[in-house]
Chain A
Amino acid sequence: MSLQVLVVEDDRSIREMMRQALSLEGFAVRTAVSVSEATSMVEHATPDLMLLDLGLPDGDGAALLQRIRWRHNFPVLVVSARHQEAQKVQLLDAGADDYLVKPFSVAELLARIRVALRHRGTTVAAAITRHTLEGLDIDLDVRSVHLDGAELHLTPTEFNLLARLVRSAGKVVTHRQLLLDVWGAEYVDHTHYVRLYMGQLRAKLEHNPAEPRHLLTEVGVGYRIATA
């Protein structure tokens, strides 16, 4: 049985583009044009993944996401225009899995969907404890990090920060989520902590910290650890 994708998008041409591209890749695609339609479709049959456009005509994607997260755990990808940074980050913090900025290519769309599906269920059990890419080998179970075979020594905070990214490998993690999970709720405004520690991590993990291969910056949103 093919995977069910629900596309919630009010613009007809973008909706059709996504429907066609996803059908070609073998997904079973259903579409909705509004928050209310999406709500009833989720009630009727739970999809395996949802693409949610920001700025729907009848309301707030955030409210929809909140209702969905009460009961369901399927990945939600936010689709936004470039100037909607604040809303985008808000939705990511509220439980969306990742985001795409319009205009995007079909290749980007498929890559994001693949990462999101790989993570299905990880909010219940931390499935990913091992991350390997191009000489970087991170094992959360034994708390070890190797680069090109040599063990790296990280401070506890550096390791926690890296571990948080690894658990969501390939997905964006917002600044707020990082501060919340690594430092705690009272530090969510200390965004400079994340910047300083990320700089330190890059200095240890990256061959060229200025142009990171692993610890990627999502400007204005957060960070993601590369999986490919």
Chain B
Amino acid sequence: MTHSSTLPQHTRTARQAVWLLVLLALPTGLGLALNAQITVMTQAMLYVLAVVVGAYVLPAAASVACAVLAVVGLNFFFVPPRWTFAVDSQEHLVALVVMLVVALVISQLSQRLRRNTALARLHARRAEQLQTLASELAQCTDAKAAAQVGALYMARAFDGPTVLALRAQDDALQAVDTAVALNPSLQDGLRAAMREASVLGPGTGRWPGLNAWYLPLGTAQHMHGAVCIQNIDASDETGREHAQALCALVAQTLERVQLGREMALANERNTRQQLQNTFLAAVSHDLRTPLAALVGNASSLLTQRDKMTFHEQASLLEDIVRSVSHLSRLTDNTLQLVQLTNTAEPLAVDWEALEEIAGACVARQRLAGAGTRIRLHMPADLPLVRVNAVLMAQLLDNLLDNALKYSEDAVDLKVRLCKGQMQLMVQDRGPVIPPDVHAQIFEPYSRGDRSGKQGAGLGLALCRAIARAHGGQISLRVRQGGGNSFRVCVPLAAEVPTAPPGEPL
């Protein structure tokens, strides 16, 4: 156990001998020095005091030796006839025997007290160990980390070598400490504990011949691995209970981690399935409609061009360009959404000025014919943010497209700093989207049925995916005075970079 001293045996014995000598020399020396002043009875008290002190500082055997030597010393040095082991009166003999009994009883009592104190300390330390293990395990998110924490606590709690092994996917056992080789007998023990889902080894009634305990990590249904603790004491029942409690904690965590992983996998499958359904729905509507228009317009140009006026031809061509650019936007959105949803890679972000991205988007919309319908509102000196510029531009393009499509009036694009976040707002005066569909409008392919116009389908779903990928969010509100207000919030970085030194800006 960890409470035994770490000093080598011979050093300990020597130190005890010194203590013994000092304890006995003190009353003897004092008695000889004060020879005339004190009686034999007082001298006996001095020796008893030495025995009491000895019982507290010395282990059991040395303490008994101290008691016996104290009686012998009293007899030799002080009981008449002095300087002999002989006892002249019966009274002195009785006194010596009584003193011996008293010394031994005191020694035994204080030994028991010391044992109980040590045991109480051990229990307290183990309880604390369980508590800290539990709180450390609570922070573990993967099996390997949990097993490492568990192995560390096992090694701390027990003197003998401890091994914690996990069962890998191919059923092989792998020790957490990779330096440890699992020899065949160790493997057998670990596997047997896992198979029987119970503790094996001395004191358990199973495999009593071993010099080690084998403890399973998990239950019969969900077995994660096993622990081996070597060089144990068969009678150390509380030690075994402690080991079992530690194992139970580790097993619980392994179970939690595995369940979490399974749930995440199931969620992922579910999301992928949903996404597939969404794309099927998108293909069946959002692609078909512009495709039909394209085929119709192009084929009528091909076959009836001679009968058409120049103006009619131009109008058909314009329709074709419009359908095609819609298809192009739809394809961009779909690809980007799939990419964002399916990749676990972190976003490539850089320091960007949102007003710059907004300016570029507005310029593009103006070129595409939005003219003066977009009004841009931005204060000067907005801080830089960590974003992916291309994605943020795509988000703004989608919101602006939508707003321009569903309203005839001006569309306001606002960028502002609010409560430690950057806010982008796209506001229109179009037909109000009823608040009861606000929640579902960001779901892939739910258009909120806005007056039957050709929707972007996945546009708002992509906007939400982009906002979330940046740690931000998107929301929709009814605008004061009529219309809709889309708001995107992007968190500010903890440290916003400033200009390089050396030149005043």
A and B associate in one complex: yes
Chain A interface (Cβ within 8 Å of chain B)? 82-83, 85-86, 103, 155-157, 183, 187, 190-193, 195-200, 203, 209-212, 216-220
User: Contacts A82-B332, A103-B328, A195-B356 given: A155-B363 contact, CB under 8 Å?
Assistant: no
Q: Does B83 contact A (CB under 8 A)?
A: no
Q: Please give, as numbers and ranges, the residues of chain A lying within 8 Å of B505 by CB-CB distance.
A: 155, 196-197, 200
Q: Chain A interface: which of B15-23, B131-139, B495-503?
A: B495-503
Contact B360 A219, beta carbon cutoff 8 Å: yes
Q: Please give, as numbers and ranges, the residues of chain A lying within 8 Å of B500 by CB-CB distance.
A: 183, 187, 190, 193
Q: Please give, as numbers and ranges, the residues of chain B lying within 8 Å of A183 by CB-CB distance.
A: 500
Q: Please give, as numbers and ranges, the residues of chain B lying within 8 Å of A196 by CB-CB distance.
A: 384, 497-499, 505
The distance in angstroms between the C-alpha atoms of A221 and B503, with both chains bound, is 26
The residue in chain A whose Cβ has the minimal distance to the Cβ of B502 is A157
The distance in angstroms between the C-alpha atoms of A196 and B363, with both chains bound, is 21
Query: Which listed residue (B324, B352, B376) contacts A195, Cβ 8 A?
Result: B352
The residue in chain B whose Cβ has the minimal distance to the Cβ of A102 is B328
Q: Does B85 contact A (CB under 8 A)?
A: no
Query: Which listed residue (B324, B351, B357) contacts A192, Cβ 8 A?
Result: B351
Q: Please give, as numbers and ranges, the residues of chain A lying within 8 Å of B355 by CB-CB distance.
A: 210
Minimum CB–CB distance for A108 against chain B, Å: 10
Q: Please give, as numbers and ranges, the residues of chain A lying within 8 Å of B353 by CB-CB distance.
A: 195, 198-199
Query: Which listed residue (B335, B360, B388, B499) contacts A217, Cβ 8 A?
Result: B360
Contact with A along B334-376 (1 / 0, CB 8 A): 0110010000000010111101111111110000000000001
Apart from A156-B503, A211-B376, A219-B393, what 17 extra A-B contacts exist at CB < 8 Å? A83-B339, A155-B504, A155-B505, A191-B351, A192-B351, A192-B497, A195-B351, A195-B352, A195-B384, A196-B505, A199-B353, A199-B356, A200-B505, A203-B380, A210-B358, A212-B363, A216-B363
Contact A217 B497, beta carbon cutoff 8 Å: no
Contact B350 A83, beta carbon cutoff 8 Å: no
Chain B interface (Cβ within 8 Å of chain A)? 324-325, 328, 332, 335-336, 339, 348, 350-353, 355-363, 376, 378, 380, 384, 388-390, 393, 497-500, 503-505
Minimum CB–CB distance for B70 against chain A, Å: 81
Q: List 8 A-B contacts (CB under 8 A).
A: A83-B336, A187-B500, A210-B378, A211-B376, A212-B363, A219-B357, A219-B360, A219-B390
Minimum CB–CB distance for B501 against chain A, Å: 11
The residue in chain B whose Cβ has the minimal distance to the Cβ of A190 is B500
Contact B503 A155, beta carbon cutoff 8 Å: yes
Minimum CB–CB distance for A164 against chain B, Å: 16
Q: Please give, as numbers and ranges, the residues of chain A lying within 8 Å of B363 by CB-CB distance.
A: 211-212, 216
Query: Which listed residue (A203, A211, A216, A220) contacts B389, Cβ 8 A?
Result: A220
Q: Please give, as numbers and ranges, the residues of chain A lying within 8 Å of B356 by CB-CB distance.
A: 195, 198-199, 217
User: Contacts A192-B351, A193-B500, A196-B499 given: A210-B390 contact, CB under 8 Å?
Assistant: no
The distance in angstroms between the C-alpha atoms of A196 and B496, with both chains bound, is 11
The distance in angstroms between the C-alpha atoms of A211 and B365, with both chains bound, is 12
Q: 5 tightest CB-CB pairs across the interface, nearest first?
A: A192-B351, A220-B390, A217-B360, A192-B497, A219-B393
Contact A103 B332, beta carbon cutoff 8 Å: no
Contact B504 A103, beta carbon cutoff 8 Å: no
Q: Please give, as numbers and ranges, the residues of chain B lying within 8 Å of A197 by CB-CB distance.
A: 499, 505
Q: Please give, as numbers and ranges, the residues of chain B lying within 8 Å of A210 by CB-CB distance.
A: 355, 358-359, 376, 378
Query: Which listed residue (B325, B351, B389, B497) contacts A219, Cβ 8 A?
Result: B389
Q: Please give, as numbers and ranges, the residues of chain A lying within 8 Å of B332 by CB-CB distance.
A: 82-83
The distance in angstroms between the C-alpha atoms of A63 and B429, with both chains bound, is 52
Minimum CB–CB distance for B489 against chain A, Å: 20
Q: Please give, as numbers and ranges, the residues of chain B lying within 8 Å of A212 by CB-CB distance.
A: 359, 363
The distance in angstroms between the C-alpha atoms of A187 and B500, with both chains bound, is 10
Q: Please give, as numbers and ranges, the residues of chain A lying within 8 Å of B357 by CB-CB distance.
A: 217, 219
Q: Please give, as numbers and ranges, the residues of chain B lying within 8 Å of A191 by CB-CB distance.
A: 350-351
The distance in angstroms between the C-alpha atoms of A155 and B149, with both chains bound, is 58
The distance in angstroms between the C-alpha atoms of A193 and B388, with both chains bound, is 17
User: Contacts A82-B332, A83-B336, A220-B393 given: A192-B360 contact, CB under 8 Å?
Assistant: no
Contact B324 A103, beta carbon cutoff 8 Å: yes
Minimum CB–CB distance for A154 against chain B, Å: 11
Q: Please give, as numbers and ranges, the residues of chain B lying within 8 Å of A216 by CB-CB distance.
A: 360, 363
The residue in chain A whose Cβ has the minimal distance to the Cβ of B332 is A82
The residue in chain B whose Cβ has the minimal distance to the Cβ of A103 is B328
The distance in angstroms between the C-alpha atoms of A183 and B501, with both chains bound, is 12
The residue in chain B whose Cβ has the minimal distance to the Cβ of A218 is B360
> Which has the most chain A C-beta neighbours within 10 Å: B328, B359, B363, B390?
B359
Q: Please give, as numbers and ranges, the residues of chain B lying within 8 Å of A155 by CB-CB distance.
A: 503-505
User: Contacts A83-B335, A85-B390, A155-B503 given: A211-B362 contact, CB under 8 Å?
Assistant: yes
The distance in angstroms between the C-alpha atoms of A91 and B435, with both chains bound, is 48
The distance in angstroms between the C-alpha atoms of A197 and B499, with both chains bound, is 8
The residue in chain A whose Cβ has the minimal distance to the Cβ of B331 is A82
Q: Please give, as numbers and ranges, the residues of chain A lying within 8 Å of B503 by CB-CB distance.
A: 155-157
The residue in chain A whose Cβ has the minimal distance to the Cβ of B363 is A211
Contact A193 B380, beta carbon cutoff 8 Å: no
Q: Please give, as numbers and ranges, the residues of chain A lying within 8 Å of B376 by CB-CB distance.
A: 210-211
The residue in chain A whose Cβ has the minimal distance to the Cβ of B377 is A210
The distance in angstroms between the C-alpha atoms of A209 and B381, with both chains bound, is 11
Q: Please give, as numbers and ranges, the residues of chain B lying within 8 Å of A219 by CB-CB distance.
A: 357, 360-361, 389-390, 393
Q: Please give, as numbers and ranges, the residues of chain A lying within 8 Å of B359 by CB-CB distance.
A: 210-212, 217
The distance in angstroms between the C-alpha atoms of A191 and B380, with both chains bound, is 20
The distance in angstroms between the C-alpha atoms of A216 and B366, with both chains bound, is 14
The distance in angstroms between the C-alpha atoms of A195 and B324, with both chains bound, is 35
Minimum CB–CB distance for B388 against chain A, Å: 8
